[in-house]
Structure 1
Amino acid sequence: MGKLIILLNKVTNLVDEDALGKSDPYVKFELEQDNLIFDKDFGDKFSSKKKDDLNPVWDETIEFDDIPGLNNMVLKCIVKDDDPIFDDKLGSCKINLEELGLSGDPTPVDRVVDDNWISKDARIFLQISYEE
């Protein structure tokens, strides 16, 4: 069993979803093994929330333990806006971990995360490693 280590560096160019003030973003990470109809869920992890920030910097480490390897592993990164009633989705991306050829050394990864047709400039910047 191994450990997936994600260093969440930053997200840039988010679209403001709040009527008053700016968005309060956080990132939800979902890890699953995509095996057609027999998917296996390895849980969700969350970053801290950043108040009034459309270009948040975290430099936070997120870890998933007891991972049986990277075959068919997909990491979903969902950027949300923390709101009192309902959290708005600001963007998301999927990262096929098997294709990255991960090792103990962090691999820089950046992806477009903006689902909004108004702006397609939002990006998430990560460093991902896998230790067996």
Structure 2
Amino acid sequence: MAESYLPEFEGFFQDEANCVCADCGAADPRWASTNLGAVVCIECSGVHRNLGVHITKMRSVVLDDWESEMLEAFLAKGNAVVNAEYEAEVPEGWIKPGPDASRAARTDWISAKYANKAFVPGNETLPRTEAENAELAARGASEETAAGGLTAMQEYIGTVAVELLEGKDLVACDVSGKSDPYVKFSLGAQQLKSKIKKKSLNPVWGETFMFCVPHFGAELHLDVMDWDKLSADDSMGSASVAITEEMETEGGHSVWVDLNNTKSGSIHLRLTYTSLVH
């Protein structure tokens, strides 16, 4: 039998949407993201904590004290409101985890949903392929045994925040002598995409993307593309960056990455690694 929630939440849990986890649908969620306004199960709450308090702040609806202003703001939202915003446009191929989902599947979904706002309109998140979902499922299956010295609860050793700052001397792909560049990032099965910068060879983005890191040496791949309205997008070059311990520094690790398979161009990134292994 589920633990009773605090009396302040009686009306909140009369809403059916709040009687299941916002992220996996498990019954009787008893953990709350105070700033987002959703309730989640204990399994998903662990993933929320790993994202950091700058994204989601967890508190129990059973045991913890709630300040009046925090409680009022939280009760004004709820799972239906939160999911209407953060799951508004889920691209083809993305699979929301269920109550029995693996840690890897939960981490993948929750990171994309909240840290990267991947399902919020305008973020142009890439669809998922069957092969990518198969890779994620394989990672989840490996949780049942220790792998590389990590237990199931340590499927990832950390997270890396990737700040896409700017590009320099990118190649011109259009007859106007300009390009409409954007960047596709991938780390394992995780894929994210930046906004398009119209008519620029020296674009400034100022966007941040969050990825889960399975081990040091894992490579973050980036493909710079030129957006075309009437034809397939053109490649403007690619590069890879290995995730290292050097990135676990205050202020992050700033690097200009030269693009391969192109005449010119480089991308300025700042990468900040946060360990989940203690």
Amino acid at match of 1:29: F
Amino acid at match of 1:110: W
State the partner residue of 1:38.
none
Query: Which of the pair is proportionally richer in helix?
Result: 2
CA distance in 2, matches of 1:104, 1:86: 40
Task: Say whether 1:22 aligns with 2:178.
Answer: yes
Task: Say whether 1:45 aligns with 2:45.
Answer: no
Task: Say whether 1:61 aligns with 2:204.
Answer: no
State the partner residue of 1:91.
237
Task: Say whether 1:128 aligns with 2:274.
Answer: no
How large is the Cα RMSD of the aligned pairs?
1.7
Task: Say whether 1:80 aligns with 2:236.
Answer: no
Contact residue 184 and residue 193 of structure 2 kept, 8 A: yes
Structure 2: 5+ residue stretches without partners: 1-155
Structure whose alpha-carbon radius of gyration is higher: 2
Contact residue 12 and residue 54 of structure 1 kept, 8 A: yes
State the partner residue of 1:113.
259
Query: Which of the pair is proportionally richer in strand?
Result: 1
Percentage identity across aligned positions?
A: 33
What's the TM-score, normalizing by structure 1?
0.80
- How far apart are residue 96 of structure 1 and its match? 1.4
Contact residue 216 and residue 242 of structure 2 kept, 8 A: no
Amino acid at match of 1:5: A
- How far apart are residue 7 of structure 1 and its match? 0.7
CA deviation string 1:51-85 (max 9, x = no partner): 111100011111114x33x3230011111001122
- How far apart are residue 3 of structure 1 and its match? 1.7
Structure 1: 5+ residue stretches without partners: 32-40
Q: How many residues align?
A: 117
Higher relative contact order (CA 8 A, sep 6+): 1
Contact residue 10 and residue 57 of structure 1 kept, 8 A: yes
State the 4+ residue runs in structure 1 displaced beyond 6 angstroms.
none
